[in-house]
Amino acid sequence: MSISFWWIIGGLAFFILAVCSRKQSKSDQTRKQHNESLSSIKVTKPKGLSSSQQRGLRSPAVHGWEVHRFGDNAPVGDWVQWKIGSGWFEVKGLFHRTEEAREFLRLAARADARGEPFGALLNPEPDNEHDKNAMQVVGILGSHQAPTSRVFLGYVPANVAAKVAGFPDGMPIAVELKKSRIGEVDVILNCAGLWPPAKQRREVGLETAPPKPFTKVDENALQKLDALIERMNAMPALTVKQAVTRQKMNRIDFIEDDEATIQRKMAELEADRSSSVLEDPGGIKQYDNDLAKQVEIVNEGLDGWERSGMTPAPYYSYRIAVILSKQKEVEREKDFLAAWCRHFSEVGIGQRYADLVERARKKGAFPVA
């Protein structure tokens, strides 16, 4: 072979090696750049929930909560709950001192189980820069007079503290631990606000008794009552068996009754609901001392009794007796009770029916058993 042939072979080999070397170099450079870009990315761990988010994830009491319902731990004396909401409130700010609250509440629960004294105190904080009505809740171990340990737990809710600030000067107030719930993250404490019973508050001049309600009795109302008494005296009295038979006849049987009968009975049941009271948004209490209204309601109840054997509610008849007693209408009350007992002394079931019968006996309107 000629020398030129080998020169051609050598040049071709050199070219191939050069190309391969260039590709390797470019690949290494690319890998290096990729590694550098990875090393420049910071790995960030997921953020945990904030305290407010954790407080929003309160589980039901059965899911991981340590629940304790405290026994009596009010101070010595006669106390009743405030008339602020339900009388209970949730202590605010516990999340700022969760560990201290956990420790105290567990010690208080242990003291409760052992019958040892414990409880809480209210500490007004008039110099609080955020709320001049602020009131601390301080947990105590030992007696209220000489506690052996005090732990600041939190605050009375601002809206409740504002209402307490409106109490008359000198009003005694206290607090009682009611229920604690200790979870992995949160602690919840319910307390009851206390003050003296109404009688004591009035005796020391901290409160005045509400005025006695005006009893609406006029001649027209008395005439309506007389007509009601005459109606009951004229109505045939039913035995218990007869009353039950009447109720069965008018009971809706969705299997046996045809559509027309069902609709009729439903209409009668609806009519027996004393709509004049039930549809009134003020409810029954506003008519407690209105004789004419009570007579109207009892008449409606008698309509239902005659239609379907549904026994009239005794509350309104009892109110009639009370109104007549207050007005010194002795004979009218006796006449009314005698007429009412003639129909419902045996068929009426419940304490109020029994109360009316007993009242009639005491007034001499019904024979003693």
Q: Does residue 47 lie within any of the structural domains?
A: no
Instruction: Provide the pLDDT confidence category of residue 234 given band limits of 50, 70 and 90.
Output: very high
51-99 tens-digit pLDDT: 443 343 333 444 578 999 999 999 999 999 998 988 899 999 998 889 9
Length of the chain: 369
Q: Are residues 225 and 350 in the same domain?
A: yes
The number of distinct structural domains making up the chain is 2
Among candidate residues 203, 234, 257, the one where a domain is terminated? 203
The strand pairing partners of 141, in sequence order, are: 118, 149
What pLDDT shows up at residue 175? Answer: 97
Q: Are residues 56 and 198 in the same domain?
A: yes
Average pLDDT of the segment spanning 209-214: 70
- pLDDT(29) > 80: no
Q: Does residue 304 lie within any of the structural domains?
A: yes
The three-state DSSP-derived secondary structure of 270-283 is HHCCCHHHHCCCCC
What pLDDT shows up at residue 304? Answer: 81
**Angle between helical axes of 314-326 and 351-362 (0-180°, round to 10):** 30
Residue 63 lies in domain? 52-203
- pLDDT(361) > 50: yes
Cα–Cα distances (Å) from 342 to 36, 242, 316, 347, 355, in that order, read 103, 14, 17, 10, 15
Q: Are residues 133 and 197 in the same domain?
A: yes
Token pair, residue 305, equals 């009794």
Q: Are residues 237 and 167 in the same domain?
A: no
Q: Are residues 174 and 305 in the same domain?
A: no
- pLDDT(111) > 60: yes
Among candidate residues 176, 203, 230, the one where a domain is terminated? 203
The Cα–Cα gap between 108 and 361 comes to 53
140-197 tens-digit pLDDT: 999 999 999 999 999 999 999 999 999 999 999 999 999 999 998 899 999 999 999 9
Q: Are residues 93 and 128 in the same domain?
A: yes
What pLDDT shows up at residue 40? Answer: 35
Instruction: Provide the pLDDT confidence category of residue 26 given band limits of 50, 70 and 90.
Output: very low
What pLDDT shows up at residue 275? Answer: 47
Burial 220-230, CB ≥16 within 10 A → b, else e: ebbebbeebbe
- pLDDT(113) > 80: yes
DSSP letters spanning 11-79: HHHHHHHHHHHHHHHHHHHHHHHHHHHHHTSPP-PPPPPPHHHHHTTPPPTTTT-EEEE----PPSS--
Q: Are residues 175 and 264 in the same domain?
A: no
Neighbouring residues of 81: CB distance < 8 A, sequence distance ≥ 6: 87, 88, 192, 193, 194
Q: Are residues 76 and 143 in the same domain?
A: yes
Instruction: Provide the pLDDT confidence category of residue 22 given band limits of 50, 70 and 90.
Output: low
Q: Does residue 154 lie within any of the structural domains?
A: yes
Instruction: Provide the pLDDT confidence category of residue 237 given band limits of 50, 70 and 90.
Output: confident
Is 246 exposed, middle or buried, given 0-12, 13-18 or 19+ CB atoms closer than 10 A? middle
- pLDDT(353) > 80: yes
Is-contact 268 252, C-beta < 8 A? no
Nearest to 182 by CA among 73, 93, 87, 95: 95
Q: Are residues 274 and 337 in the same domain?
A: yes
Average pLDDT of the segment spanning 261-278: 55
The Cα–Cα gap between 125 and 132 comes to 7
